[in-house]
Every structure is written in C-alpha cells, then in structure tokens.
Amino acid sequence: MTTCFAWGIGVANYSRSGTMLDVFFPKPLLRPASTLTNTLRAKVGSGVHDVDAKTVAGLLPNLPQELATALTPLTEARGKLVSVLLDEDRAIAHTAEAYLKLHLLSHRLVEPNQQDLGGIFAHLPTVAWTNQGPILAEELTAKILESRLRGEHLEVQSVDKFPRMVNYTIPAGVRIADASRVRLGAYLGDGTTVMHEGQVNFNSGTRGPNMVEGRISQGVIMDSGTDLGGGASTMGTLSGGGTIRVSLGKNCLVGANAGTGIPLGDRCTIEAGLYITASTPVTVIDEHGEIIKRVKARELAGGSDMLFVRNGMNGQVQCRTNQKAIALNEALHANN
C-alpha cells in the first residue's frame, strides 16, 4: 500500500478506570499523499498508537505547512496524545477510530454514507458531557461529590455516546441556534442554518445552503436550497426506515410537522402535517386534475417536481406536478 484512508493526531481524554472517553483532532487528514503516508507509517505506525509531544515535533517538517501550523500546539501538550492511521476504510475497531471518522464528517472531508461506520456504537462509551469535560457515566456520582466538596458546580449537559459538534469544530458559514441538537459527525454545508428546534444526527446533514427547522436523521443528506420546516422530520435507517436511504434533492420543502420516509428528487414539496412513508397509498394526479394511477409512495422514490398534498374532501394523499419550485430567502443564509 502507498496511501492510506485517513490520519489524525489528537488529544485524548480518559476515565479514572482507563477508558478512552473522546479524542479531539485539530486537523484530520483524508487520503494523504503516498510520500506522507509512508513517513507516517514509519514514524507513528498504522492503527492507533499513543504518541508524545516529541513525536509530534519530529513530524512537523514532513507535513504540509497548513497542517504543521495546526498541529504545532501539540508539541507542548501535557495531556495524552493519540495517533490514528487508517490504512483503509473499514469497520471501526477502537474509540479513537470512531472519533477520527466523526471528525472527517464534521470537517466536511467526507459526506454522509461515504465511509464505513460499522461498529461505531460498540466503541463509543456512554459519557456524561459536562462543563468540566467528559466523565464516564458510572463515575459521575463520585465526580459530582468531589466538585461540591470543593464548592464547585458540575453541570451535566447530556449523557450520550455522541458529544456536541461545536465542542470540536464549527464549519465555516453556518449558524446553529441550539448547539446541543447537532451531534459530532453531522455534516453542515456552507450557508446552513439550524434553528432552535432543528436537529442533525451523526452521519447526516446538508450540502448548503439549507434551512433546518426539523430533524435530519442518521444517513439523510439534504441538497442545496432545501428547507426542512418546523417539527418536520426525515426517516433514517436507525429509526424504522429499513433499507431505504432517504435523501432530499435541491430546492425542496418539507412543510411544518411533515416528513418523508422516501428519497425525493429536486423541487419537491410535502405540505404541512403530511408524513409520507414508503407504504403510503398515493393517488398521482396530472396537470388537469385527472387520476393517472394509484401507487405506494415507494414507487415515486427519487422523483423530481412532485407536490404531495392531502385532499381535504376525501383524505386521499395526492401527488401532483410541482409547478412552483421553492426558493430560500437568500438573506436568511448569509452566514458569513
């Protein structure tokens, strides 16, 4: 092998019992050049390895200038450093590998569904994320007591396998109203706005610009110009979506409290309050209002220029040609 899939050196946190809790990678690298890959294999080795500040200093002359600058502060690190060199994209076998792959997503180096995330849940411990850093869940009570005895307040922000993305990286050109609702491993394209009730899971996201006022589930990607309305949701493969991988094309609108369990092409609209699942009976209507056919929604998966509405007289879910594409308000997406 002459190249590798990814590499990063980061700062690791450990529990009292020695469990790795998280790793912060200042600047992960995707598919480094073969010459750099060979140097990394020789100096830090393939796989996961503990390294020290001296090792990092020895690497800097071999790194591209931008990367060397980003890693220079690690040469004075007092904490524990770890190197992760993945020769190939394979199922996750270590906590540090999981964090590197989550960083690749949130640094926009890979899009959702473009890398193997198999094994990620098995190798991410359940952690109490606090204002004093990550704490293993079963060690939390003792840590709270210690803090109170020192007259300090320990605030637990969440107990989860995934931390907030913004504690590791903030992609350029995005706005996030409530940081707790965007997990590390979310992919947010330039121009994306995530409102207070918006939620973006790991291995999901937007290509930007996008307005997110609802939930983007694991595995779902929204293309540019698409708006996910307040209370709306997308069905992911972890939440009952089966093997259908949901995606939304360009300039779509999923109305408030609506949702989809099928992929949509470009310029599609789902009216407010209407949830389309793969098995939803849909009556397809032509531009003259004539019935063309009746199908399950899965047969329309991936189509463009579709308008899904519910007939107010008989309750039928209808699909019509979308005569008016949705255009996002450009002022709302001026995040620079």
Catalytic residues: 213
Distance separating alpha carbons of residues 32 and 185, to the nearest angstrom: 21
Omega prior to 171 cis, within 30 of 0? no
Residue 15: CB atoms within 10 A of its CB come to: 17
**What is the residue-wise DSSP string for 39-75?**
HHHHHT-SEEEEE-HHHHHHHGGGS-HHHHHHHGGGG
What would the two tokens of residue 279 be?
Answer: 């098995």
Residue 33: CB atoms within 10 A of its CB come to: 12
Provide the CB-side half-sphere exposure for 308 (13 A, CA): 31
CB 13, CB 133: distance < 8 Å:
yes
Which residue, among 80, 116, 79, has the nearest Cα to 98 in the 3D structure?
116
Angle at CA 181, nearest 5°, toward 106 and 264?
A: 70
CB 289, CB 323: distance < 8 Å:
no
CB 70, CB 8: distance < 8 Å:
no
Residue 103: CB atoms within 10 A of its CB come to: 25
